[in-house]
Amino acid sequence: MKICCIGAGYVGGPTMAVIALKCPSVEVAVVDISVKRIAAWNSNRLPIYEPGLYDIVAQCRGRNLSFSTDVEKHVSEADIVFISVNTPTKTFGLGAGKAADLTYWESAARTIADVSTSDKIVVEKSTVPVRTGESLKKILTHNSKGINYQILSNPEFLAEGTAVQDLLRPDRVLIGGLETPEGKKAAQVLKDVYAHWVPEDRIITINLWSAELSKLVANAYLAQRISSINSISALCEATGADVSEVARAVGKDSRVGPMYLNASFGFGGSAFIKDILSLVYICKCNGLTDVAEYWKQVLKINDFQKSRFVKRVISSMFNTVVGKKIAVLGFAFKKDTGDTRDTPVIDVCKGLLDDKATLSIYDPQVSEEQLIYDLTMQKLDWDRSSSNQLLILSPTEMKQVHTARNAYEAAEGAHGVCILNDWDEFRELDYRKIYEAMCKPAFIFDGRNVVDPEKLRAIGFIVYSIGKPLDAWVKSIAVAV
C-alpha cells in the first residue's frame, strides 16, 4: 500500500513518521510545495522541534518514509492521500478574520483531481469547516475522469510538544465516512492502518460531518476550559482565593476532570483561536447568532486575560515602564515547541511596547529571525468591527526589542521579568542570581504559574502570579484588572 500526505507541516510530518514507523509494509511519502521545508525534513535538522521525532524520522527515512516536492508523482501513485495543508483564518475579503482560508486546501484537492489516474481514498487531515467533504467531492470529480474517490475525515488531535506521544498513544482515532457500502469499506482500509498500533476500541468510526465538526468542537471545548479557569483567576485575585487550589478542587470531580485547568495569561497556538473563529463563523452562517456569541466569549476572555496581564505589569511598576528593561522569558505559545503561530506573547510584547518598555526576549527554540518576523508581521485583530484592521509594530518600537541568548542575559539589569511560557528550564533557574543582577525593586510576573511565588518573595522579589493571592504592593495599586 502507498500513502501520500500533502503538507509536511506540524501535523503531516509527525503523523506520517509514526504511520511509517508502525506500518513497515506501507510506503509513506510526504510531499510539500516548499522546497526549504522538504530539504529540512531530509536533513539532520528537522523543520519543527518536536521531542522524540528525529529518532523516528531517522529510523524510517529511506526505508518506507520519504519527503519530496514531487507532489504529482506521489499523489498519482498513492492508494490513500492525506490532505494536511494549513487552513489559517482568512485575512482579507469575505469572512476575513473569521472564516477558514481554504486556498491551500483547494489547491491540494485540485492537484489530486488533476494528476490521479486510479481510484483513491482521500483523507481530510487538516481541520476544516463542517461539510468541507462535500466541496472536496465536487472538486475531485469536476473533471469527470471516472475515477472513484472515497472521502474520509480523520482529524488529528496531537498537541505540539507532545506530538510523538500523542500519536503513539492516542486517546482516540476518529474516522468519519459516508454511510454507503463504499464509504464503510474505505473507512475500514484506514482503520486497518491505525490498527497496526492503536487498540480497536480507540478507533471510532462515525459519519463524515460528525468527524469534521468534532475536531472544531474538541478544540473549542479545551479552549473554553482555559477561558473558564482564566476568568476565575481574576476573581481569585480580587478575593484572596488561589486559582490553583480552586482548579484542583473542581478538577477532582470526575464529571469535570483535571486537565486544561491551568490558569495562564492566555492561550495561543495555531489551533484554538482559528478553530473557534471558524466555529463562530459556521454558527453565524447557519443563523445561530446566540450560539456564535457564546463561543466568541471564549476568545473575549482570552483577550481580557492578556490585557489584564499587561495592566498588572505596568501598574505594578509604578504605572510607567518607559525605558525600563523587561525580560520576556518564553516566546513560543507553549513549552517544547518553537512554534510561534498565534502566540499570546506577541500581544503582551505589543502592550508593553505601547507603554515604551524595552524588551529583552529569550526562548530556547525561537530564533531571533523568527521573533523579529513575528513582531513586525501584520496581525489580524479578530474583534474589531473593521475586520481588516491590523496590528503592527512601528520601526521605533522594534528598536526597543532585543533578543537574549539565555534567561540570565535577558534579566541582566532588568526592572521586571515576565515568564510567558512554561519551559522546564524556567522552573529551574537560579532566581537568586537573577535577583542580584536586576534593578530594585525587582519584579516577577509569572503568566503561567511556573514558579513558586513564596520562594521568590523570600529572595526579595515582588511577585505577581496569575490567580494567586497578591503581594501587598500589587494589591494596593488601584486598577480594575
Residues at the contact surface with ligand UDX, assessed by CB under 6 A: 156-160, 219, 222, 226, 260-262, 264, 267-269, 271-272, 333-334
Region near ligand ADP per CB under 6 A, out of 81-89, 209-217, 228-236, 396-404: 81-89
Q: According to CB under 6 A, which residues from 84 to 103 bind ligand ADP?
A: 84-86
Name residue, grid cell 470529480: 141
Residue 470 neighbours by CB under 8 Å, 6+ apart: 237, 464
The residue number whose beta carbon is nearest to ligand ADP equals: 9
Taking the complex as a whole, the smallest distance from the CB of residue 106 to ligand ADP amounts, in Å, to 8
Region from 9-17, 113-121, 219-227, 370-378 binding ligand ADP, contact rule CB under 6 A: 9-17
* Residue 159 or 372 with smaller CB distance to ligand UDX: 159
**33 touches ligand ADP (CB under 6 A):** yes
Residue from 3, 12, 283, 397 in contact with ligand ADP (CB under 6 A): 12
Beta strands in 44-103 (DSSP E): 65-68, 80-83
CB of 263 to ligand UDX, least distance (A): 7
Does 334 help bind ligand ADP (rule: CB under 6 A)? no
The interface with ligand ADP within residues 402-461 (CB under 6 A) comprises none
If one asks whether residue 107 binds ligand ADP (CB under 6 A), the answer comes out as yes
CB of 48 to ligand ADP, least distance (A): 7
**Strand 379-380 vs strand 416-419: parallel, antiparallel, or unpaired?**
unpaired
Instruction: For 452-479, give one letter per residue: b (16+ CB within 10 A) or e.
Output: ebeebeeeebbbbbbbbbbbeebeebee
Q: Which of 69, 77, 54 is nearest to 4 (CA)?
A: 77
The DSSP bridge pattern shows strands 325-329 and 65-68 to be unpaired
- For 174, the enclosing helix (H) or strand (E) is strand 173-177
Contact present, 350 and 391 (Cβ < 8 Å) = yes
Q: Are the C-beta atoms of 131 and 190 separated by less than 8 Å?
A: no
CA torsion angle 230 231 234 240 (round to 10):
-90
Instruction: State the nearest-atom distance from the C-beta of 334 to ligand UDX, in Å.
Output: 4
Contact by Cβ (8 Å): 328, 254: no
CB 324 within 8 A of CB 356: no
CA angle at residue 223 from 217 to 224, to 5 degrees? 85
| 22 vs 306 by CB, closer to ligand UDX | 306
- Closer CB to ligand ADP, residue 213 or residue 466? 213
Q: Helix or strand or coil: residue 337?
A: coil
- Any contact of residue 209 with ligand ADP (CB under 6 A)? no
Residue 135 CB, nearest approach to ligand ADP (Å)? 15
Residue 56, binding choice from ligand UDX, ligand ADP, none, Cβ under 5 to 8 Å by partner class: none
Query: How far apart (Å, rounded) are the C-alpha atoms in residues 91 and 101?
Result: 8
d(CA 379, CA 373) in angstroms, rounded, equals 11
> Nearest 5°: phi and psi at 10?
-65, -30
304 contacts which partner out of ligand UDX, ligand ADP, none, CB within 5 to 8 A by kind?
none
Distance of closest approach, residue 8 Cβ to ligand ADP, in angstroms: 5
170 binds, among ligand UDX, ligand ADP, none (CB under 5 to 8 A by kind): none
Distance CA 468, CA 393 (A): 32
Among 22, 37, 308, 379, binds ligand ADP (CB under 6 A): 37
Kindly state the smallest distance separating residue 14's Cβ from ligand ADP, in Å.
9
Numbers of helices and strands, H then E, in the chain: 20, 16
- Dihedral class, residue 372 (left if φ above 0, else alpha if ψ from -120 to 50, else beta): alpha
Strands 390-391 and 379-380: antiparallel
Decide which of ligand UDX, ligand ADP, none touches 34; Cβ closer than 5 to 8 Å per partner kind: ligand ADP
- Name which of 41 and 265 has its Cβ closer to ligand UDX: 265
Nearer to ligand UDX, 120 or 468 (CB): 468
Select the binding partner of residue 272 from ligand ADP, ligand UDX, none (C-beta < 5 to 8 A, by kind).
Answer: ligand UDX
Measured from the CB of residue 318, what is the shortest distance to ligand ADP in angstroms?
42
Residues that bind ligand ADP (CB under 6 A): 6-12, 32-34, 37, 71, 84-86, 104, 107-108, 126, 270
